[in-house]
Amino acid sequence: MIPGAFDYHRPATIEDAVTLLASLGEEASILAGGHSLIPLMKTRLASPDHLVDLSGIGNLKGITVAGGDIVIGAMTTQFELIASEDLARHIPIIAETSRLIADPQIRYKGTFGGNVANGDPGNDMPALMMALGATYRVHGPDGGRDVAAREFYHGAYYTALEHGEILTSVRIPVPPAGHGYAYEKLKRKVGDYATAAAAVVITMAGGTCTSASIGLTNVSETPLWASEASALLVGTRLDKPSVDAALAAAEAITNPASDMRGPAEYRTKMAGIMLRRALERARSRTEA
Amino acid sequence: MTKSHIELTINGRTVEALVEPRTLLIHFLREQQNLTGAHIGCDTGHCGACTVDMDDMSVKSCMTFAVQAHGASITTIEGVANADGTLSALQEGFRMMHGLQCGFCTPGMILRAHRLLQENPAPTEDEIRHGISGNLCRCTGYVNIVKSIQYAAAKINGTPFQEAAE
Amino acid sequence: MNDQTRIDQDRAERTEKLQGMGCKRKRVEDIRFTQGKGSYVDDLKLPGMLFGDFVRSPHAHARIKSIDTSRAKALPGVIAVLTAADLKPLGLHYMPTLAGDVQAVLAEEKVLFQNQEVAFVIAVDRYIASDATELVDVEYEALPCIVDPFKSMLPDAPILREDIQDKMTGAHGPRKHPNHIFEWMIGDKEATDAVFANADVTIKEMLVDHRTHPSPLETCQSVASFDKVKGELTLWGTFQAPHVIRTVVSLISGLPEHKIHVIAPDIGGGFGNKVGAYAGYVCSVVGSIVLGVPVKWVEDRMENLSTTSFARDYHMTTELAATKEGKILAMRVHVLADHGAFDACADPSKWPAGFMNICTGSYDIPVAHLAVDGVYTNKASGGVAYRCSFRVTEAVFAIERAVELLAHKLGMDAAELRIKNFIKAEQFPYQSALGWEYDSGDYHTAMKKAMDTIGYKELREEQARKREAFTRGETRELMGIGISFFTEIVGAGPAKNCDILGIAMFDSAEIRIHPTGSVIARMGTKSQGQGHETTYAQIIATEIGIPADDIMIEEGNTDTAPYGLGTYGSRSTPVAGAATAVAARKIKAKAQMIAAHMLEVHEGDLEWDVDRFRVKGLPEKFKTMKEIAWAAYNSPPPNMEPGLEAVNYYEPPNMTYPFGAYFCVMDIDVDTGVAKTRRFYALDDCGTRINPMIIEGQVHGGLTEAFACAMGQEIRYDEQGNVMGASFMDFFLPTAVETPHWETDHTVTPSPHHPIGAKGVGESPHVGGVPCFSNAVNDAYAFLGAGHIQMPHDAWRLWKVGEKLNLHQ
């Protein structure tokens, strides 16, 4: 498996990168960690004429706490997400999810931005970003703009990102202290995409759920934010009927493909099972 | 396509080269630098046979373009033995604990284990198993690879290695 | 310290120094492998070497309307593009298979499976070769395809093999349909049918051993270098059987065999994948002969999984008849064997279904009958012995699942039923109903040791409690206990019934003792990770008293090694290991004559003592093997030719029959179908144990592959014949995280006919492991009335079992 030929560009600033992309046109692709793109290139499912490597742009890396938000640079790697003390303190579900992505080697190189931006429904971060209500910062020829994670995903590998735009950072509102969280991922083996996975972030007060947000991975053409299922939980004590109702609502919005991980009906049911388990674990983690 | 100039350090030696941008790091190492220790097993980034150490990270060199290694410092299996030519603790551990059979995954496995022990000098069995989960071995069933890494960790740490009873 | 103690201690020290049989000698190979200094085929770099790559069919079945190579040829760096039209004048567009069929090297008029080879591009490097494959324009007309082997012989089935459609007799007898390959039968049908007609209890089940792939970490690859001046071809390749490859290359190329030098360097795992001859080998050879420069071919993983050598795909209707007390009276099996588009099984030539007739297993079954029908489908060819002797995994799976089904029907404990039907130790050598003579065994002892060690009774009690808890709704987990008591048949084999293309399946060893007492020995086998360089030296060390560290073992170069049939089917130890011992004994016999001459005594006055001959009764008068070696070159006895070397071509009198008792404890989450192996215990009896460390390693590896095959390692096709999951992304190969921890144990029942009593072990764990995992899964659901659950047992399939049984709320 050999990739097709391309010209290589390594701009030093976001502005240079944006200018380059504009001048190179449709046949240019962005190279971040490369662990999604390079396999596609080796199987010739992608044959860009130009690669614009973002690794030379210094300020695309890093995790900063800004007011009530955390901002993560697009080139921050999964390894760095796992190692971050700020994330461990404020949004521990990010590290929990990162640990379930691919394998150690890929987590050293795989970037947060690449994971959320490339539109692969098998990626784990997008559903989590939807659940957390994150906002993506995008730079293009016309300057910068923000896109809500929940508005970003339109189809498999098809996102709100226009050609020539670069996702540069993600802003995530820090969930309230004492929130409960869990990312439950069913997979056949390390390195595999999820058969189904669920991200849950909840808050509880006096045994009652005061907020809930659910994301689902790899059970549709796009990552899913299960808004109705989330809403069904708020105000309940997460008793079995309420959870059952939320599961039914979550399963109803799935539309998975049948593949080696299992037929569609199985993956839909597994989305429900993962959600049930994530809710149980999230509740056990709330400090109410 | 325009060739790119790269300069990097491989096993402590500075290397300069002109490469076609699409040249994969594994091919650059194997074919242009004659470092054939790292292997290609799967072509898709799942088997880890091509693992090398790059800037203190374990990297799959068949999922990396040589141009991405510009400015990097790389260690391959050829650079792992002790300065006096004797086997390193990990190499010795793999031999003593029968952590290899056909040898094809071994260079990648040792490089990965090397980085794991740098980050976690005394890993548990579970940590080792997760730590090497980006490397497939088709021969050993992993039990003895785990022991090999435990042996090396003990040797490096100067602690006694007790082979687990069956 | 008295004299005897001193003598014993001295002898023990000298024995230890030899590092001979029975010790955990560290591997010689590891010095280079741990330093990245192995030399595998793709490491080879020759001046002027070109690189070949295939254009492959996107269709499973299609007529080729046209092939246009002009755009590819115009690409700078492309040297040549070969198609069937180029090979046909040379008679090389088809090659013979080991199974008596022919196989297209490059497709001529039709393609018969997805990714079949259509054209071979040769370019200055692998990047340009890959680019050029995209520029070969092939026009296809898609044809209806056959994916389901049960549809192959329907009256209106499309005819796949037009090249042989008029040939109604194949290599193994008459063909019933153009898509039929052979029917093979053995056993007493009439007597078997009669027992079934009158039996108290019978069971009948379709047991599917699904299509999978051996998938060694190194793919198949070759480098061919033809010297036009000398007319000599050197071929490096991933060959488990280099000598056979040399003969095949000679037969198909017309080059004299002595002008072909085949070299198998270090091989990155084989598992049966590297026994056969593939289009890539032939095309690299043709390319080099035509162009006069070396041509390299390296498979990528997608090509490997989808074209070279699938395994299994056996659909086995399996029946047992028994008394109500549980005595098995008869076995009847019909197999539908899906061989893909060409019959390229790598079995001994007279055995189209391999040794499937070992399917009566470890049990004393008076009568049996087996019939196998092989059919063509639009899938890749192969049917290789994947980490097993020929079709033995399939056979053992059939009997070991069948006894469980019988136990369930009888309401008997599955271990008890086995024990009741075991062949008894005193019955060996045992004649099986389907024609084998089992050499030795002590099944009852092995089973008892295994059951005691694993705590079988307690496990069944725990299981009973868990089943009650499950029924009460207190747990969502099912506990399964898997048992497998397998008997393998390895070490092919006696010339009377085993040959490959007419060459008897002997193997060989040549040992040379140098004047200074060090040794080089060469064998006709070829290690792919089994550690031959270490273990053969141990055999020689023990036999002739020279330290293993002073013995170099070399394999894989057909110019220097004696002819042998290669390494597969666990035949290295039973056959070449025997040759090694016999050759060593020839040397020892000559050494004894030399020693007698040196010590001026009669040969009969000498006795062997670890590493020396000494005069009986005069222990201080001796000559060490090292001294004898020098004398052999310096002052041999009068009338004796100098030198000290021997060669042996060993034709085994019988196969060997390793056996073992395996137990698996599994917990299954019914809501997800995820099965977790809590414990796996493997007791192996492989006869005499040469290197316990290596045996343990072989068992670990074989169990891991068994685990993968049973739980999800599958090559699937969709209805259009598209191969699914032909990458390590989708193909289930477990990492260290999923792989269970393995416990090993052993008993020792030597083979009576093998010079050192060894039986071979590399494949036992795979053969015994697959049914053990499957039995654990089946056992978990059995009390709920699940019936037989087909492999592979991946999570979604087990979840569907739960659906069928209404286990999900």
Predicted-complex ipTM score: 0.98
Does residue C730 belong to the interface with chain A, where contact is any CB pair within 8 Å?
A: yes
Does residue A103 belong to the interface with chain B, where contact is any CB pair within 8 Å?
A: yes
Chain Cα centroid distance, residue B143: 18
What average pLDDT does the segment A84-99 reach? 98
Residues C131, A2: C-beta atoms closer than 8 Å: yes
Residue C703's pLDDT band, with cuts at 50, 70 and 90, is: very high
% chain C with pLDDT above 90: 97
**Looking at residue B164, what is its pLDDT?**
61
Residue B165 has pLDDT above 60, yes or no: no
Domain assignment of residue B152, yes or no: yes
Query: B71 and B127: one domain?
Result: no
Query: B150 and B120: one domain?
Result: yes
Diameter of chain A by CA atoms? 61
Residue A288 has pLDDT above 60, yes or no: no
Pick the CATH number of C310-492+655-804 from 3.30.930.10, 3.40.50.620, 3.30.365.10, 3.90.1150.10: 3.30.365.10
What is the overall mean pLDDT for chain C? 97
> How long is chain B?
166
Give me the residue spans of the domains in chain A: 7-54, 62-173, 180-285
Residue C252's pLDDT band, with cuts at 50, 70 and 90, is: confident
Residue C449's pLDDT band, with cuts at 50, 70 and 90, is: very high
CATH of domain C44-143+218-268+274-307: 3.90.1170.50
Domain assignment of residue B84, yes or no: no
CATH no. for residue B49? 3.10.20.30
Residue C54 has pLDDT above 50, yes or no: yes
Tell me the per-residue pLDDT of A244-275, one tens digit each, with 9 for 90 and over.
Answer: 999 999 999 999 999 999 999 999 999 999 99
How many separate helices (H) and strands (E) can be counted in chain C?
A: 19, 38
Shortest distance, CA A3 to any CA of chain B (angstroms): 6
Q: Which member of C34, C529, C745 has the closest CB to residue B110? A: C34
Pick the CATH number of A62-173 from 1.10.8.60, 3.90.1150.10, 3.30.465.10, 3.30.390.10: 3.30.465.10
CATH no. for residue B95? 1.10.150.120
Residue B7 has pLDDT above 50, yes or no: yes
Separation between Cα atoms, residue C110 and residue A82, nearest integer Å = 53
Is the distance from CB of C437 to CB of C429 less than 8 angstroms?
Answer: yes
Domain assignment of residue B104, yes or no: yes
Domain assignment of residue B109, yes or no: yes
Domain assignment of residue B15, yes or no: yes
Query: B121 and B139: one domain?
Result: yes
Residue A186 has pLDDT above 90, yes or no: yes
Coil, strand or helix at C336: strand
Is the distance from CB of A222 to CB of A121 less than 8 angstroms?
Answer: yes
**Looking at residue C136, what is its pLDDT?**
98
What average pLDDT does the segment A163-172 reach? 96
**Looking at residue C346, what is its pLDDT?**
87
What average pLDDT does the segment A31-47 reach? 95
**Looking at residue C1, what is its pLDDT?**
61
C800-805 contacts, C-beta under 8 A, 24 or more apart: C800/A266, C800/C673, C801/C673, C802/C670, C802/C671, C802/C673, C805/C781
Q: Which member of C26, C33, C704 has the closest CB to residue B106? A: C33
Overall fold of domain A180-285: Enolase-like; domain 1 (3.30.390)
Residue C572 has pLDDT above 50, yes or no: yes
Shortest distance, CA B53 to any CA of chain A (angstroms): 10
Overall fold of domain C12-39+507-650: Aldehyde Oxidoreductase; domain 4 (3.30.365)
Q: Which distant-in-sequence residues (6+ apart) come within 8 Å of B101 by Cβ?
A: B139, B140, C269, C529, C530, C531, C697, C698, C701
**Looking at residue C317, what is its pLDDT?**
98
**Looking at residue A14, what is its pLDDT?**
96
**Looking at residue C378, what is its pLDDT?**
98
Of B79, B103, B137, which residue sits at a domain end? B79
Separation between Cα atoms, residue C623 and residue C592, nearest integer Å = 9
**Looking at residue C3, what is its pLDDT?**
82
Residues C529, B139: C-beta atoms closer than 8 Å: yes
- Classify domain A7-54 at the CATH class level: alpha beta
Q: Model pTM? A: 0.97
Contact pairs from chain B to chain C, CB under 8 Å: 180
What average pLDDT does the segment B60-69 reach? 98
Does residue A35 belong to the interface with chain B, where contact is any CB pair within 8 Å?
A: yes
Tell me the per-residue pLDDT of C160-196, one tens digit each, with 9 for 90 and over.
Answer: 999 999 999 999 999 999 999 999 999 999 999 999 9
Strands of A208-217's sheet in order across:
A180-186, A196-205, A208-217, A224-225
Query: B60 and B95: one domain?
Result: no
Owning domain of residue B35: 4-79
**CB contacts, 8 Å: A4 with chain B:** 22
Residue of chain C whose alpha carbon sits nearest to that of B110: C34
Residue B11 has pLDDT above 90, yes or no: yes
Catalytic sites of C, residue numbers: 240, 387-388, 763
Q: Which member of B47, B103, B128 has the closest CB to residue C38? A: B103
Separation between Cα atoms, residue C106 and residue C112, nearest integer Å = 11
**Looking at residue B166, what is its pLDDT?**
46
Query: B14 and B73: one domain?
Result: yes
Higher per-residue confidence, C617 vs B164: C617
Residue A242 has pLDDT above 70, yes or no: yes
Q: Which residue has the tokens 């005691």?
A: C452
Is the distance from CB of C691 to CB of C538 less than 8 angstroms?
Answer: yes
* C12-39+507-650 against C310-492+655-804: fold identical: yes
Domain assignment of residue B162, yes or no: no
What domain count does chain B have? 2
Residue C137 has pLDDT above 80, yes or no: yes
Tell which residue, A239, A243, A232, has the closest CA to residue A273. A243
Residue C651 has pLDDT above 60, yes or no: yes
Diameter of chain C by CA atoms? 91
Query: B57 and B21: one domain?
Result: yes
* A7-54 against A180-285: fold identical: no
Domain assignment of residue B163, yes or no: no
Query: B100 and B58: one domain?
Result: no
- Touching C: B residues 53-112, CB under 8 Å: 76-78, 80-81, 87, 91-92, 94-96, 98, 100-107, 110
Shortest distance, CA A139 to any CA of chain C (angstroms): 33
Q: For the purposes of burial, counting CB atoms within 10 Å of the CB of C198, is it exposed (0-12), middle (13-18) or buried (19 or more)?
A: exposed
What average pLDDT does the segment B139-150 reach? 98
Does residue A45 belong to the interface with chain C, where contact is any CB pair within 8 Å?
A: no
**Looking at residue A287, what is its pLDDT?**
80
Query: B8 and B74: one domain?
Result: yes
Is the distance from CB of C333 to CB of C398 less than 8 angstroms?
Answer: yes
Residue C501's pLDDT band, with cuts at 50, 70 and 90, is: confident
Residues C36, B38: C-beta atoms closer than 8 Å: yes
Residue of chain C whose alpha carbon sits nearest to that of B20: C127
What average pLDDT does the segment B84-106 reach? 97
Give me the residue spans of the domains in chain C: 12-39+507-650, 44-143+218-268+274-307, 310-492+655-804
Tell me the per-residue pLDDT of C784-805, one tens digit each, with 9 for 90 and over.
Answer: 999 999 999 999 999 999 999 9
Residue B30's pLDDT band, with cuts at 50, 70 and 90, is: very high
Contact pairs from chain A to chain C, CB under 8 Å: 61
Q: Tell me the β-bridge partners of C683.
A: C661, C745
Is the distance from CB of C405 to CB of C368 less than 8 angstroms?
Answer: no
